[in-house]
């Protein structure tokens, strides 16, 4: 029977039960005294826990402040850096024929490779804006290249002619063959004298 009762009891009850059986009241009073003495130690532990909780809160506050600072830094890069790069690049739209002079690094050497074609799309917002340029390569194969607008590798963009289009994306030009693949109405430029 003693085995069955041991299985049903928790570990704390197992510790208390043999003591009460052996010494009776004296052992139980000693346990109460020990428990009373341990409580102040628990309060010290609680104080230490609250101190550690406060430091954790301070750490989380610092990380929040760091995140806010990094977000503000990104905002300033988008605002200030974007404007500098935007001032460097000409204002072009979908339908314009442009030449993108792109800086290519091969090993230790860098060179500028021009890519001339028609702007068929502009996408994105903020610093992640991109534009797609399409040209007809050798053997009448269409070649499209997507450039990040604010890439440091773009040396310059030269506008050859401005196009007059009524679409934001000119993907329908992909189906066309020959000269029609790049045929877009040109804008009439009126110069004020």
Q: What pLDDT is recorded for position 118?
A: 94
Q: What pLDDT is recorded for position 39?
A: 56
Q: Which residues, 6 or more positions from 51, have their beta carbon under 8 angstroms from its beta carbon?
A: none
**pLDDT(76) > 50:** no
Mean pLDDT score of the chain, rounded to an integer?
74
Mean pLDDT, to the nearest integer, of 91-97?
93
Residue 177 and residue 157 in contact, taking contact as beta carbons nearer than 8 Å: no
Q: Which of 21-30, 48-57, 154-163 has the lowest mean pLDDT?
A: 48-57
CA distance linking residue 126 with residue 182, whole number of Å? 29
9 pLDDT band (50/70/90 cuts)?
A: low
30-41 residue pLDDT tens: 766 666 666 554
Name the strands in the sheet holding 154-161, side by side, starting at the edge strand that comes first in the sequence. 142-148, 130-136, 109-123, 97-106, 154-161
Mean pLDDT, to the nearest integer, of 160-183?
88
Residue 159 and residue 96 in contact, taking contact as beta carbons nearer than 8 Å: yes
137-150 residue pLDDT tens: 888 889 999 999 99
């Amino acid at each position: 029977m003693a085995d069955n009762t041991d299985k049903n009891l928790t570990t704390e009850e197992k510790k208390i039960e043999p003591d009460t059986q052996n010494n009776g009241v004296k052992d139980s009073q000693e346990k109460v005294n020990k428990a009373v003495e341990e409580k102040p130690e628990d309060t010290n532990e609680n104080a230490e826990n609250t101190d550690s909780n406060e430091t954790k809160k301070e750490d989380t506050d610092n990380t929040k402040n760091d995140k806010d600072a990094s977000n503000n830094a990104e905002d300033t890069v988008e605002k200030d850096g974007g404007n500098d790069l935007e001032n460097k690049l000409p204002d072009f739209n979908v339908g314009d024929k442009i030449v993108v002079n792109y800086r290519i690094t091969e090993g230790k050497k860098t060179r500028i490779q021009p890519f001339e074609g028609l702007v068929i799309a502009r996408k994105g917002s903020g610093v992640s804006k991109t534009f797609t340029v399409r040209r007809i390569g050798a053997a009448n194969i269409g070649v499209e290249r997507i450039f990040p607008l604010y890439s440091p590798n773009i040396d310059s963009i030269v506008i050859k002619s401005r196009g007059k289009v009524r679409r934001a994306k000119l993907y329908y030009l992909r189906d066309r063959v020959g000269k029609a693949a790049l045929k877009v109405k040109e804008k009439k430029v009126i110069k004020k004298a």
